[in-house]
Amino acid sequence: MTSDRRLRLALIGLGRLGAIRARILAYHQPRIEFVAACDTKPGADEWAANNLPASVKFYADPEDMMRNSGAEAVLISTATATHAALICLGLDLGLHVMCEKPISVDVVTTQEVVAKAASKPHLKFLVPFSRRYDDSYLNAKQLVENGSLGNVHAVETMCIDQQDPTGFFVTFSAQSGGIFVDMGIHDADIGRYFMDVKSGLTNPKRQVNRVVAFGQQAVYGELAKYGDADNGWGMVEFANGKVLTTHLGRTLKNGYEGATRVCGTKAHSIIGGNSTINRVEIRDEHGVRTATTPDAFTLYDRSFINDLAEFAGAVLDNSPMTCTPEDAFEASKIVTALQHSFRTGKPVYFDEDGLPIMEKAVEVNKKINGHLNGH
Ligand SMILES: NC(=O)c1ccc[n+]([C@@H]2O[C@H](COP(=O)([O-])OP(=O)(O)OC[C@H]3O[C@@H](n4cnc5c(N)ncnc54)[C@H](O)[C@@H]3O)[C@@H](O)[C@H]2O)c1
């Protein structure tokens, strides 16, 4: 049975993605009543007044909004390092929670949040991975499921942002967890989505055998002080032998490219091989050219509508959701291990509880500081 009432939802964070979410909530979600928006930065009230319907009440304090706006659900679109506390507060106040990826920058906090959500089964909790809500990825998933590709034994991804002359993500790095955690979580998730990483396991708790990562500061040398890279390569060996490889970057000149190759024994499928903004080609003295999408928000524009519609349906009708908290946790373990491998220069193995075995942070910090001092 489909409910005909609307979900009363409040939004926290009006940054790059939050501003897009706010417009979608206001104008493209027939099953959501957008009741309130919140951001702590100066000037956010003015932005909300100029861009959102008058019925959306602005709050400068997220707790005040969660308690007093009449919302029954909250969308968290703030910087990653703030997610965990806001998710837990929302759940404790009895709100359904949708939160942008990733839950946290570390495995322990992610595990605590997933446990908190599991302790409140009457509340919905969704961390949406954009590619799973994209029509082309859904189409490729059907090819996997109907056997057209044969046995899918490997997935190769590439995700490279357009080079940003302001270097915004350099300062963002301290809050984002680094390129593998921030960007690579989509790739870890999509590898798990296309490959059956749960079959043939001797220990069902341990889905990953080992990961290894490499990285560079090809353009933005300052990233070294955050233990971060502007180009990173990661390899993940799952415990049943499937393999994921990924190239992540922040330095592409023509725009944003996001591509995935699904390697099967009968066929390969490539999604987004040329991340064009439309189907127009220019043929001139330079050859054949197409325009690239400027960013991930443009390439996956429908995903940011589809995932919210799914969340509303899950709360209102109890319909199923595409991503589970377990998916967010498993992807988080992989990318935290990749970031660690890049920082330490060593592979990271996973233990019998399925957790990455990582050197103590103090050792890693010593290495980062040593690097900064030119050692
Ligand atoms: N699914 C995707 O493809 C995708 C794409 C981009 C970003 N993201 C995720 O979305 C989140 C936001 O990214 P962004 O690029 O919009 O960041 P951003 O820095 O542009 O915006 C974050 C906003 O949150 C506000 N904020 C921070 N802490 C707050 C708090 N405690 N209460 C209220 N407001 C607070 C900041 O003032 C800022 O306006 C990140 O976690 C990021 O990983 C996901």
Residues touching ligand 1 (Cβ under 6 Å) are: 12-18, 38-41, 62, 77-80, 82, 100-101, 130, 182, 296
Residue position matching structure tokens 């040329």: 274
Helix 325-344 and helix 361-372, axial crossing angle in degrees, nearest 10: 50
Q: What is the DSSP letter of 292?
A: B
Phi, psi at residue 32, to the nearest 5°? -120, 135
Look at ligand 1, atom 28, and give the residue with the nearest C-alpha.
Answer: 78
d(CA 339, CA 107): 12
Res 366: pLDDT: 53
How many domains does the chain fold into? 2
**Å from CA of 175 to ligand 1 middle:** 10
Last residue of a domain, one of 105, 129, 153: 129
- Tell which atom from ligand 1 comes closest to the C-alpha of 38: 33
CATH assignment of the domain containing 341: 3.30.360.10
Output b/e per residue, 192-215; b: 16+ Cβ within 10 A: bbbbebeeeeeeeebbbebbbbeb
Tell how strand 7-12 and strand 32-38 pair up: parallel
**Å from CA of 343 to ligand 1 middle:** 25
- Do residues 226 and 118 both lie within one domain? no
340: in domain:
yes
Question: Tokens standing for 354?
Answer: 């399925």
- Do residues 189 and 120 both lie within one domain? no
d(CA 279, CA 267): 25
- Do residues 184 and 271 both lie within one domain? yes
Last residue of a domain, one of 77, 105, 129: 129
Phi, psi at residue 159, to the nearest 5°? -145, 105
Res 175: pLDDT: 81
| Contact in structure between 158 and 257 (CB atoms under 8 Å) | yes
Nearest Cα residue to 188 out of 78, 300, 329, 82: 329
- Do residues 165 and 289 both lie within one domain? yes
**Å from CA of 38 to ligand 1 middle:** 12
- Do residues 189 and 74 both lie within one domain? no
- Do residues 331 and 182 both lie within one domain? yes
Radius of gyration of the chain, Cα coordinates, nearest whole angstrom: 21
- Establish how many alpha carbons lie within 13 A of residue 320's alpha carbon, considering only the half-sphere containing its beta carbon: 3
Last residue of a domain, one of 113, 129, 145: 129
Q: Kindly list the averaged pLDDT for each block of 10 residues, start to end, along the chain of length 375.
A: 92 97 97 98 98 98 98 97 97 98 96 98 98 98 98 98 90 88 97 97 97 97 94 98 98 97 98 95 95 96 98 98 98 98 97 92 52 41
Task: Say whether 254 sits in a helix, a strand or coil.
Answer: coil
Res 372: pLDDT: 41
- Do residues 184 and 234 both lie within one domain? yes
- Tell which atom from ligand 1 comes closest to the C-alpha of 62: 32
Res 368: pLDDT: 52
**Å from CA of 16 to ligand 1 middle:** 7
- Do residues 84 and 229 both lie within one domain? no
312: in domain:
no
98: in domain:
yes
- Do residues 176 and 290 both lie within one domain? yes
d(CA 103, CA 336): 12
Facing residues of 285 across strands? none
| Helix (H) or strand (E) run with residue 66 in it | helix 62-68
310: in domain:
no
Res 365: pLDDT: 53
- Do residues 117 and 221 both lie within one domain? no
Residue of 11, 38, 39 to mutate, ligand 1, most atoms within 8 A of C-beta: 39
Domain ranges, residue 22: 7-129
pTM of the complete model beyond 0.75: yes
Look at ligand 1, atom 31, and give the residue with the nearest C-alpha.
Answer: 82
Nearest Cα residue to 356 out of 247, 205, 233: 205
| Contact in structure between 338 and 332 (CB atoms under 8 Å) | no
Task: Say whether 261 sits in a helix, a strand or coil.
Answer: strand
- Tell which atom from ligand 1 comes closest to the C-alpha of 86: 31
Angle at 44 between CA 43 and CA 50, to 5 degrees: 95
Distances in Å between the Cα of 267 and the Cα atoms of 42, 136, 154, 271 are: 53, 17, 12, 13
Look at ligand 1, atom 2, and give the residue with the nearest C-alpha.
Answer: 130
CATH assignment of the domain containing 19: 3.40.50.720
315: in domain:
no
**Å from CA of 28 to ligand 1 middle:** 20
- Tell which atom from ligand 1 comes closest to the C-alpha of 182: 43
- Do residues 142 and 55 both lie within one domain? no
Phi, psi at residue 84, to the nearest 5°? -55, -50
